[in-house]
Amino acid sequence: MSYAIICSSKTGNTKKLAQRAREVLGEKNECSTADADLVLLGSWTDKGGLDPALEDALPQLAAKRVFLFGTCGFGGSQAYYDRVLDRFQSALPEGAQVVGRFMCQGQMPPAVRARYVTMAEQDPKRFEPMIENFDRALGHPDAADLTAFEVALRAAL
C-alpha cells in the first residue's frame, strides 16, 4: 500500500510517530500525497487543534483515506485526546475519509516548566498541577506510546 505523510512537529515528538509509521509501512512505499492510498496527517497540538501551518496541505485530502495522529503536552485522558482529534478531523475537507486516529502525550521544552514555576509563585493552586503534568510528559512519546501508535495504525490498514 502506498502512503504519504504530512506532518508538523515543533519539538520532535510528532516526528517520532511519523518515523514509526515509516518503519511500519515501509519507506519504499512512501509517495506523494496525490499518489497515496493512505495519507497520514500528523500535528503537534496548537491551542487544541492542528498546527495552522498545515492548512495549505488540507485540500489535498478531499478524496483520500486519512489517518490522523499527533502529540500534545497535556495528557492522561483519552477523552481529552479524543476532543483534540475531533478538532483535527473537523479541519479536513469534505470527502476525506478518516480511517484511524491516534494521540499521545509529548514532552514539552524546559522553558515551559520554568514559566509554570514562575506563575506558581503567584497562583500555586492553578500552576502546580501544570508542573506535575509537565513532569509526567517527560520522555513521551515513549516505547509504550510508539507501540500503541503502531497498533492503531495497523488496525486502520
The answer to whether the CB of 36 falls within 8 A of the CB of 69 is no
Confidence (pLDDT) at 129: 95
For residue 76, pLDDT beyond 80: no
Q: What is the pTM of this model?
A: 0.94
With cut-offs at 50, 70 and 90, classify the pLDDT of residue 74: confident
| Separation CA 139–CA 82 (nearest Å) | 22
Query: Phi and psi of 142, rounded to 5°?
Result: -100, -175
- Percent of residues in the chain assigned helix, strand, coil, to nearest 5: 50, 20, 30
Q: What does the chain come to in residues? A: 157
Confidence (pLDDT) at 109: 94
Confidence (pLDDT) at 77: 87
For residue 79, pLDDT beyond 90: yes
